[in-house]
Structure 1
Amino acid sequence: MTLRAPANGIELAYDTFGPPGERPLLLIMGLGAQRIHWDDDFCALLADRGHHVVRFDNRDAGESTHFREAAVPASGARRPAPYLLDDMADDTAGLLDALGWESAHVVGASMGGMIAQSLAIRHPHRVRSLTSIMSTPSPRAAPPTEAAMTVLMTRGATDRESVIRQALLTWETIGSPGYPLDRERIARVAALSYDRCHDPAGTARQLTAIMASGDRAPLLKELAVRALVLHGEADQLVPLSGGIATAEAIPEARLITFPGMGHDLPRPLWPEFVDAIDELTAAG
């Protein structure tokens, strides 16, 4: 069931797994992705470990507020970005307010990891622990491969069937070469995402926010938070150097890398992800 909350002057759509009162765990998804990209079964595994899990749509994604009136700066244009990752971090803090959570364990994937990093920097008292998955402190620390850049910059499809085909092509390129590609799930999530809200311009605005935001590494060095960094060794979109840079920036962060993992969350690795996150959040 979709729930809605006011946050930082906008509205965020979210849903939950697990009973209230368990360890609060907030999941932040990546570029152009909706909360349903956190698979229901994965969220259920986290809930079974004693977490009250909340996943939500970022601004300009899914059922949350879209900034359709904001222009997307053209490549090389000097016009400022409509918003930055810091604004998305403030959205997330606003969601914590609406949930009545003074603080939470925060898990972010890709752009979601960048938002989680910004949240820990801007609102350190709100973050009990930080898990950054396939992310980076700065795009410069982990430039994508040429193949990944090609799919990233491909013009967004407009009709449902083309969106599904484009999703399959994207994950064939940046997904995990060491694990079978779950084509059925990719097609299903792409179709559902299209039906919920298809907004390629929103994805472009999010990408502009990533590129316009500064290097977080210097400020990450000042954090006093338990941190976990998970990264695939075969990631083409955010190469392993991004995970290494994240772990090196956050004092005492634990880095776990996975051979054969690309820029996705392969189902066979879910038990290892959940074990590592559970160990972190159970530490107190």
Structure 2
Amino acid sequence: MILRAPANGIELAYETFGSPAGRPLLLIMGLGAQLIHWDEGFCELLAGRGHHVVRFDNRDAGESTHLRDAAVPAFGGDGRAPYLLDDMADDAAGLLDALGWESAHVVGASMGGMIAQSLAIRHPRRVRSLTSIMSTPSPHAAPPSKAAMAALMGPVSADRETAIRQSLVTWEVIGSPGYPLDRDRIARVAGLSYDRSYDPAGTARQLAGIIASGDRAPLLKDLEVPALVLHGEDDQLVPLSGGIATAGAIPGARLITFPGMGHDLPRPLWPEFVAAIDELTAVADG
């Protein structure tokens, strides 16, 4: 069931899995993605390991607040953005307030990993452990391939069916070459995402925020938080150098890489992801 909470002056849509008595775990998704991109099965696996899991829509995505009155930045423009990743991190902190969580284990994928890093920097007491998946401390540390950038910057879809086809094209490029492409799931999630909220302008604002946010590596070096970095060795959108840079910046961070994994979360790897996250959160909670 989708719930809503005020956070940092906006409203965030979220959903929970598992017992409220479990270890609190916040999932943060990536650029233009919605809470449904955290697969229910993945969330249930985490809940089965004793976590109280929350997935949510970032600002300008899904059923959370869209800043439709804000300017839509042009890619490659003057670098100005309506908001930064720090603002999105403050959104997440506001959601923790609304949930009544003094702190939580935080897991972020892609842009969500960047937001999670910013959350740990800005609100260190709110983050019990940090898991950064297929992410980077700076876009300059992991520039995408030309093919991945072309897929990311694909044309705006005129209707639902076109949006589904475009999503399939994108994941064929940036997905995991070592694992079968789950076309049925991609089409289903793309269709549901379109139904919930199709907002290319919101995605453009998020992208501008990424580009304008600068390099977090110098600030990550001051963190004192148990940290895990998961990254695919065949990621074209955020190459492995991003994961290496993240792990190198956070003192004591553990880096696990996966051959054949691109810029997605292949179902066959879920047990390994969940086991690593569960180990981290258990150790962090003592």
Matched, 1:246 2:231: no
Structure 1 residues 255 and 71: CA distance shift in structure 2, 3 A: same
Matched, 1:49 2:49: yes
The alpha-carbon deviation at position 78 of structure 1 amounts to 2.9
Matched residue of 2:58: which SS?
coil
| 1: CA distance, partners of 2:233 / 2:91 | 31
Sequence identity (%): 82
- For 1:214-272, what per-residue CA distance to the aligned partner results, in whole angstroms no more than 9, with x for missing partners? 10000000000000000000000000000000000000000000000000000000000
| 2: CA distance, partners of 1:112 / 1:156 | 23
- For 2:219, the aligned partner's letter is L
Match of 1:125 in 2: 125
- For 1:56, the aligned partner's letter is F
Match of 2:236 in 1: 236
Unaligned runs of 5+ in 2: none
Match of 2:178 in 1: 178
The alpha-carbon deviation at position 76 of structure 1 amounts to 4.1
| 1: CA distance, partners of 2:75 / 2:194 | 26
| 2: CA distance, partners of 1:156 / 1:252 | 42
- For 1:206, the aligned partner's letter is Q
Matched residue of 2:45: which SS?
helix
| 2: CA distance, partners of 1:163 / 1:35 | 18
Match of 2:272 in 1: 272
Superposition map of 1:202-217 within 5 A: 202-217=202-217
Match of 2:140 in 1: 140
Superposition map of 1:47-196 within 5 A: 47-78=47-78, 80-196=80-196
| 2: CA distance, partners of 1:16 / 1:76 | 37
**Count of aligned pairs between the two proteins:** 284
The alpha-carbon deviation at position 79 of structure 1 amounts to 6.7
The alpha-carbon deviation at position 154 of structure 1 amounts to 1.4
Matched, 1:220 2:220: yes
RMSD: 0.7
Match of 1:10 in 2: 10
The alpha-carbon deviation at position 82 of structure 1 amounts to 0.4
The alpha-carbon deviation at position 155 of structure 1 amounts to 2.1
| 2: CA distance, partners of 1:74 / 1:168 | 25
| 2: CA distance, partners of 1:124 / 1:75 | 32
| 1: CA distance, partners of 2:37 / 2:76 | 31
Matched residue of 1:19: which SS?
coil
The alpha-carbon deviation at position 208 of structure 1 amounts to 0.5
| 2: CA distance, partners of 1:183 / 1:24 | 32
- For 2:142, the aligned partner's letter is A
Q: Is the 8 A contact 2:80 2:208 kept in 1?
A: no
- For 1:108, the aligned partner's letter is G
- For 1:174-216, what per-residue CA distance to the aligned partner results, in whole angstroms no more than 9, with x for missing partners? 0000000000000000000000111011001100000010100
| 2: CA distance, partners of 1:69 / 1:189 | 27
- For 2:101, the aligned partner's letter is W
- For 1:145-182, what per-residue CA distance to the aligned partner results, in whole angstroms no more than 9, with x for missing partners? 01001011112213000000000000000000000000
Following TM superposition, where does structure 1 have runs of at least 4 consecutive aligned residues deviating by more than 6 angstroms? Answer: none
- For 1:52, the aligned partner's letter is H
- For 1:184, the aligned partner's letter is D
The alpha-carbon deviation at position 77 of structure 1 amounts to 3.2
Match of 1:257 in 2: 257
